Amino acid sequence: MKTAELVFIPAPGMGHLVSTLEFAKRLLDREDRFSITVLVINDAFGPTDDGLLQSIAASDTRVRFIPLPQVDPPPKELSCKSVEKFITEFMENYRSLIEETIINRVLSASLPLAGLVVDMFCSSMIDVAHELGVPSYVFFTCNAAFFGFTLYLPTRHDQVGIEFRETDPESAIPSYVNPVPPGALPSLAFNKEGGYISFVNHGRKYQEADGIIINTFYELESHAVSSLFNDGIPPVYTVGPMIGLKGKTPSGDNQAKHEIMKWLDNQPPSSVVFLCFGSYGSFGEPQLKETALGLERSGHRFLWSIRLASVAEKLAKPTDADNLEEILPPGFLERTRGIGMICGWAPQVEVLAHKAIGGFVSHCGWNSILESLWHGVAIATWPLYAEQQTNAFQMVRDLGLAVELKIDYSLGSSVLVMAEEIEKAVRCLMEADGEVRKRVKEMSKKSREAVIEGGS
């Protein structure tokens, strides 16, 4: 017997949607008295993959989806200056429509509204919950350490009143074990175009919520989680790892997936290093050449997802490369035939689960980190954007769960990561008896224990 309704408001983008829906499904597995409605917002940077959404929706018919009409996004120029401010304003533009939709399409049903579960970028929806007289819970799709950083921002801002600077000393942030150098801070910390102040405001707003739900687990981030048990911080619930264990294949990519998995089936166990950099990860031709040389010199087998930035549209997602002979070093494809495979889009979850994979060169998005830990695959860090620098710092310095390739790299950097650095990191990553590999295998076991009955 259903007794109460929860409304979930995720931000658009697969990195937010997938973990939010995994949480909704697990909540229903534990507590079947809830009914859950998800308000679906289209991506401002382009339409959400409807096929992907439909497959997610079809995978659990207990969840109701209400697609919302598109509202006008902020000016496109703003996204070039600050993606964080752009997304924050875009979500704020939905506020009255979301309140209206809840009143007309949720409250009109027979079940009472138990509360709103809002994405980390939707902190303005906490006010909607206040107006409706129901509790609000923030679903934080990043990790506990970065949540602690977001709470640290208002305190710091009240003291100094300006953004971070590259010349600042290391910052003692309670959610990190070690002081954090400026190079390991996310680009938003330095952004004078609204990115920094947007997150200062999110940090203030989170403290008005009735609870914070974080996609992490205590055994992984014990220091960060413990730092959040303080007066003035809403109760924190660690519900991770929330990962889609069955990857969703975008329409049109089934053949590519089949070819990749077939190639992996023919490789020895733990012999392949996988390079993949997320939905928006791409590099220019000079960096691709250095990466190719580093991989070749390492002598290890590799599966490399190469994506090219769109020339015509700055905000468009990268596309697959169709002129690899022109982009990569002369003779590289011929010399590495048999030990390497290059693809465009890759089914990351299935690849990480494959017995042939021995290491992962990653942009350190939080979902990717959780997936790699779940499958016991060690990471070499190559962060690009968002909070990935702090993720890389935490994984290498605080937790000892990753090999440092780079920590202070950012997308669009004119600095090349040289072949020697890549070769060294890949060799270190693929050491069969390496210390990092052992620690990752132990954490893999703990991540699985966290989500079983009686787990943390």
The CATH number assigned to the domain holding 56 equals 3.40.50.2000
Structural domains in the chain (count):
2
Residues 345 and 289 occupy one common structural domain: yes
Q: Are residues 288 and 217 in the same domain?
A: no
334 and 230 within one domain: no
Name residue 140's beta-bridge partners: 214
Four-residue CA torsion sign, 384, 388, 390, 396: negative
Other Cβ atoms within 10 Å of 58 Cβ, number: 8
- Which of the listed residues 238, 263, 298 is the one where a domain comes to its end? 238
Shared domain check, 263 and 210: no
Last residue of a domain, one of 207, 238, 269: 238
Closest among 89, 280, 123 to 194, alpha carbons compared:
89
CA distance 404 to 252: 35
Shared domain check, 18 and 86: yes
Neighbours of 267 (CB within 10 A): 18
- As a dihedral over the C-alpha atoms of residue 168, residue 170, residue 176, residue 177, rounded to 10 degrees, the angle is 180
- Identify whether 32 is part of a domain: yes
Does residue 264 lie in a domain region?
Answer: yes
Pairing of strands 319-320, 307-308: antiparallel
218 and 318 both lie in a single domain: no
**What are phi and psi for residue 340, nearest 5 degrees?**
-135, 150
Q: How many CA atoms lie within 13 A of 413 on its CB side?
A: 17
pTM above 0.85, yes or no: yes
Decide if 222 is inside a domain.
yes
Same domain, 322 and 210: no
Same domain, yes or no: 301 and 225: no
The DSSP result for 334-345, as a single string, is: HHTBTTEEEESS
Contact assessment for residue 412 and residue 287, using Cβ atoms and an 8 Å cutoff: no
* Whether residues 435 and 292 fall in one domain: yes
User: For the purposes of burial, counting CB atoms within 10 Å of the CB of 262, is it exposed (0-12), middle (13-18) or buried (19 or more)?
Assistant: exposed
Residue 269, domain extent? 254-450
In a domain, 456, yes or no: no
| Residue 144 located in a structural domain | yes
CB of 75 within 8 A of CB of 46? no
Residue 365 belongs to a domain = yes
| Whole-number Å distance between alpha carbons of 379 and 307 | 20
- 227: which 2 tokens? 């730092």
Q: Is residue 244 part of a domain?
A: no
Which residue do the tokens 């929330």 mark? 242
Residue keyed to tokens 């992907």: 52
443 phi and psi, to 5 degrees? Answer: -70, -30
Do both 228 and 263 map to the same domain? no
Question: Quick check: is 308 in a domain?
Answer: yes
Residue with tokens 């997610």: 56
Same domain flag for 258 and 391: yes
pLDDT by position in tens, the chain (length 456): 788 999 999 999 888 988 999 999 999 999 989 999 999 998 886 655 566 666 666 767 889 999 999 999 999 999 999 999 999 999 999 999 999 999 999 998 889 999 999 999 999 999 999 999 999 999 999 999 999 999 999 999 999 999 999 999 999 999 999 999 999 999 999 999 999 999 999 999 999 999 999 999 999 999 999 999 988 899 999 999 998 777 666 656 789 999 999 999 999 999 999 999 988 888 999 999 999 999 999 999 999 999 887 654 555 677 777 789 999 999 999 999 989 999 999 999 999 999 999 999 999 999 999 999 999 999 999 999 999 999 999 999 999 999 999 999 988 888 999 999 999 999 999 998 889 999 999 999 999 999 999 999
Residue where a domain stops, chosen among 183, 211, 238: 238
265 and 228 in a common domain: no
- Contact between 125 and 138 under an 8 Å Cβ cutoff? The reply is no
